[in-house]
Chains A and B, each alone.
Chain A
Amino acid sequence: MALKKWVALLTLALFMASILVGCGKEEPTESQPSQNVSQQTEQGTSGDDKQGDTSEAKQAGEIRLATDWPYPFHGNPFGAGGIGGAWWFAYEPFAYYIPKTGEYIPRLAESWEVDGNKVTIKLRSDVKFSDGEPFTSKDVVTTINFIQAMWQWPYEIEKVEATDDHTVVFTLTNTSFLHTLLTDGAMATLTPSHVYKDFADAAAEVAQLGKEIYYMEIEGQTVPEDKKSEYDEKAQQLREQINAFAPFETLGKIPVVGAFEPVRVTQSEMALEANKYHWTYSQMKINKIIFKKWSSNEFVWAALISNEVDAAHPSMPKDVVEQLSTLNPNLQVLTVSDLSDIALVFNFNRPLFKDINLRKAIAHILEKDKVRDVSVWQANSYGEYSHGILKSMEQEWLDQDTIQKMTKYTNDSAAAEKILTDAGYKKDGDTWKTPNGQPVQFTLSVYGPHSDWVLAAREVVQQLNSFGFKVEMQIIPEGMRDQVMQSGDYDVAIEFGATWQGYPHPLTGYQRLYEGDLFKITSFPAKEKYTTPWGELSPYDLALELQKVVQDDKEKARELIQQLAYITNEYLPVISLYEKVLPIYYSDGYKVEGWPAKDDPIWTLAPGGIERVYNLLIGTGQLSPVAR
């Protein structure tokens, strides 16, 4: 009996000791499986020999951010989830573009020249991958081949040539692609030649075949079946090989040109270390980035309150923001346009929505500011128009004369009733009926995982039902948005309307509306001609013409934009609800200081990749660790 007692006590003591040992660990994440601990050690020692290292003692500053990444981490930009939020730190574009000032900040490119459809880019000569290999124009050619082979994009690049180690010449199908070429992070450094050399020839062949087929198709030529089969077979083979390639596992690292390289990845944390060969390395005061897993918005709210992360951009209800500022006085918040708007989009295959009177009535019924308040309270209000130009850009792109020609859709139930009554609709009891006696009844679909969209949909449904329509809300399950929208299995939906991400210009929005993604899912009759003060015009033709003149004839481009804005507002292919904004939260002076002023144009670089802002601020030495 006594022996049992001692054994029990000993077991208890051992148990307590193991708990105490566990508590003593500094990094709780170490208990999680780390994929590359040995690699971290190896790099730490070999780093001393790197020629890019400076003798100057560097401050070991770090910044903690929140993002998502695939796990297990493969380090393959073409694999599922790519490299997650590390993208803009690891890959460099030719230039950054600041929408507010229209300024291009050179990154990989020292300069560029445009001659007709030819773009010649001079690369920086001091660029190296993080493993010390030099970066040359050959890497750019390899990358273009890979992205065309893997993503069947961008076929706007007809040809790419490396004329010397630091000069690349692109031949484009149209110059409206110039901005994307210069600023997209995928254009130059995804596939280092020395890492992807085994697949490079196959990628070049598949890219070439893909382009040939694409050009034949858009020219209306018949593509020979054997060519198609050859392409399908080779592309399939290449994609299988590339998708299975996991450089982070096989090489133990992903050599990158960017300022930071992922070195340790667990399920909950990703650590990036500065690339000692990066041209900004000597100016950096922060040389480590810790990403916390963005598991949910609520986690990020809590992490901001507790200073667990130094900056993040979650959507946050107004009262939570107020509470946050009280609990964490270091926290600053600002908003920038997300270069996109949220809109009510109609399915023009449904006879109900072919009637412009109904669409105009809906535009009058909706109290857009209420929708904005409950959905994204910081968003920019759209007011009375729905012209397809982002509200924050309205003054820049629209003439007063054009605005005066447009119909104002004020929130006015009486105006909506008049439009409907004049068009033969009747109100029977509480329900409006169409001229043929059917109730105005439809479903509003909304993508469930986008919580701000769900809130907007709830409000829109409520307002339309209060008016006398019969509207039900339908949630589109996670992962099924593309399927539902592209198959046209909806009546009305909450979707992105005009999005200007990529190339922040009205052209991007109107292309989406009249010949791009939105045109395909709404089936708006964009090729028909519509009455305008400038005569009978087709928005499809106008968008095509705008694409041709956008770089070379600014005056003509502006004229076309006025016409497109007028058609969009008068014929309502979509009803814009509010301009989305990106709220940015940063903790100033807790661990990191040196944040720019809230109205600094640099913040407008954030939409589509806020990491570029952080990267720029770190690379210029503006952000620094707080001295304690």
Chain B
Amino acid sequence: MINESMVNFYFDYIQPLLKNKKSLIGLIILLIYIFMATVGAAVVPLDMNSNFAERYQKPSLKHPFGTDYFGVDIFQQIVHGSRAVISLTMLASLLAVLIGAVVGVARGYLEGIAGKIIDTIIMVFLVIPSFPALLILAAIFMDKDLNLFEIALLVAIWLWAPLAKQISAQVLSIKNKEFIEASRMLNMPLSYILFSDITKLLIPYIFINFVMQIKGAMEFSVGLMFLGLAKFDPTHWGIMLNYALYQAGALYTAKGFHYVFFVVLNIVLLIYGGVLLSQGIEEVFNPRLRGNE
């Protein structure tokens, strides 16, 4: 029975994704980075000892991405930093999307006082300027030793509100459709209508938002490190980019081009992989897009 359902799952969900070029390429890119984050650190040793005389070495066999301002191998740092990027930023994006989706769907469907209260909460989080709020959080939590989940949650708190607002608008536009009316007539529970009827339709939209949140989560996590809230990790790609641009001035010297380039390339590739996958998912599962094929 279990095997049969797994087979069905494969043919219903996995195989169409593997057949779609966009989702396949996106999946490969993401798998490379997940592999890098999980296994890479064990395979590629990290030597963070600086060697100023060897700064800005060009890419070579010894240093595939060259060396940075400190004379440290950039490739090694990218590999070791991928763990922090994948874990912290993806977890933060996931949490932001979860909160945003639940609150957004609830706001879109519910009317009256409950809807207004949720709307007010969303508006409050939309208008709070995130940087001063982070400064206050830094003052509150500086002494606390926050774990990965808590830090991700701190990041997510400032990212979920725009998504919730967008989703609530989407829900408002579909909540009076016939199939929702039908569910209501059949006295289906509210949770079924919200999270089965409505949310399923929004999955591609939510997924692409999850991918787009990665960039925001990365910026926020760097902000948290510079505010002393998160453990300072010099191999985090955001920190590497910060060092390259603002401390080492790599953009102001031709020697430093590869320093910025390889960090940005990896950030872009990670996000692009996610975008391709989400576009593929939408093409595969959205009946309207599928009909145009």
Contact = CB atoms under 8 A, between A and B. Distances in A.
A479 B246 CA distance: 19
Contacts of B253: 317, 319-320, 322-323
A298 B246 contact: yes
A130 to B, nearest CB: 39
Contacts of A317: 69, 247-249, 253
A373 B135 contact: no
> Which of A374, A455, A474, A489 counts the most B-chain CB atoms under 10 A from its CB?
A374
A462 interface: yes
A566 to B, nearest CB: 32
A472 to B, nearest CB: 6
Given A319-B256, A480-B138, A462 B249 contact: no
B126 to A, nearest CB: 24
A475 B225 contact: yes
Given A462-B48, A473-B232, A477-B135, A323 B254 contact: yes
A400 B221 CA distance: 52
B247 A451 contact: yes
A489 B227 CA distance: 15
B252 A320 contact: yes
A370 interface: yes
A467 to B, nearest CB: 11
A466 B226 contact: no
> Which of A445, A454, A463, A479 counts the most B-chain CB atoms under 10 A from its CB?
A454
A516 B55 CA distance: 40
Given A317-B69, A320-B252, A480-B139, A472 B232 contact: yes
Interface string B21-57: 0000000000000000000000000001110100110
A478 B49 contact: no
A319 B67 CA distance: 14
A477 B56 contact: no
B249 A319 contact: yes
A398 interface: no
Contacts of A301: 249, 252
B228 interface: yes
Interface in B143-166: 143
Given A316-B249, A374-B50, A477 B228 contact: yes
Interface in B54-95: 55-56, 69-70
A454 B70 CA distance: 13
Interface string B194-236: 0000000000000000000000000000000111100110100
The A interface, classified by DSSP as helix, strand, loop or mixed, is helix
B249 A459 contact: no
B52 A451 contact: no
Contacts of A305: 252
B227 A373 contact: no
B255 interface: yes
Contacts of A458: 70, 234
A489 B254 CA distance: 42
A448 interface: yes
Nearest to A455: B247
A476 interface: yes
A319 B226 contact: no
B52 A475 contact: no
Given A319-B256, A320-B253, A477-B138, A448 B228 contact: yes
B258 to A, nearest CB: 13
A484 to B, nearest CB: 8
Contacts of A466: 49
B52 A370 contact: yes
Nearest to A327: B252
A472 B231 CA distance: 8
Contact of B227 (A370, A448, A455, A472): A448
Nearest to A472: B231
Nearest to B234: A458
Given A448-B227, A480-B138, A298 B249 contact: yes
A320 B256 CA distance: 9
A477 B226 contact: yes
Nearest to B231: A472
Contacts of A374: 50, 52, 69-70
B252 A323 contact: yes
A374 B245 CA distance: 15
A459 B55 CA distance: 14
Contacts of A319: 55-56, 69, 248-249, 252-253, 255-256
Nearest to A377: B52
A514 B26 CA distance: 62
Interface string B125-150: 00000000001001100110000000
A369 B231 CA distance: 26
Interface in A426-458: 445, 448, 451, 454-455, 458
A463 B69 CA distance: 17
> Which of B138, B227, B252 counts the most A-chain CB atoms under 10 A from its CB?
B252
Given A374-B69, A477-B135, A477-B227, A462 B246 contact: no
Given A301-B252, A473-B232, A479 B135 contact: yes
Contacts of B48: 462
A320 B249 CA distance: 7
A154 to B, nearest CB: 32
Contacts of A477: 135, 138-139, 142, 226-228
B228 A373 contact: no
A472 B234 CA distance: 11
B229 to A, nearest CB: 8
Contacts of A316: 249
Given A323-B253, A323-B254, A454-B247, A474 B52 contact: no
B226 A475 contact: yes
A123 to B, nearest CB: 46
Interface string A463-492: 100100000111111111000100001000
B52 A476 contact: no
Contacts of B231: 472
Contacts of B254: 323
A554 B231 CA distance: 50
A477 B143 CA distance: 13
Contacts of B248: 317, 319
Nearest to A305: B252
A476 B255 CA distance: 31
Contacts of A489: 142-143
> Which of B142, B245, B246, B255 counts the most A-chain CB atoms under 10 A from its CB?
B142
Nearest to A444: B232
A377 B248 CA distance: 11
Contacts of B49: 462-463, 466
A463 B70 CA distance: 13
Interface string A323-344: 1100000000000000000000
Contacts of B234: 458
A478 B135 contact: yes
Contacts of A370: 50, 52
Contacts of B246: 296-298, 451
Contacts of B135: 477-479
Interface in B231-272: 231-232, 234, 245-249, 252-256
B232 A475 contact: yes
A440 to B, nearest CB: 19
A45 to B, nearest CB: 44
Contacts of B226: 448, 475, 477
Nearest to B230: A475
Contacts of A302: 252
Contact of A459 (B50, B252, B255): B50
15 contacts: A296-B246, A298-B249, A317-B248, A319-B255, A322-B253, A374-B69, A377-B52, A448-B228, A462-B48, A473-B232, A477-B139, A479-B135, A480-B142, A484-B142, A489-B143
- 3 closest A-B pairs by beta carbon, nearest first, are A373-B52, A319-B253, A320-B249
Interface of B: 48-50, 52, 55-56, 69-70, 135, 138-139, 142-143, 225-228, 231-232, 234, 245-249, 252-256
Given A370-B52, A377-B52, A454-B247, 4 more contacts: A301-B249, A448-B227, A458-B234, A478-B135
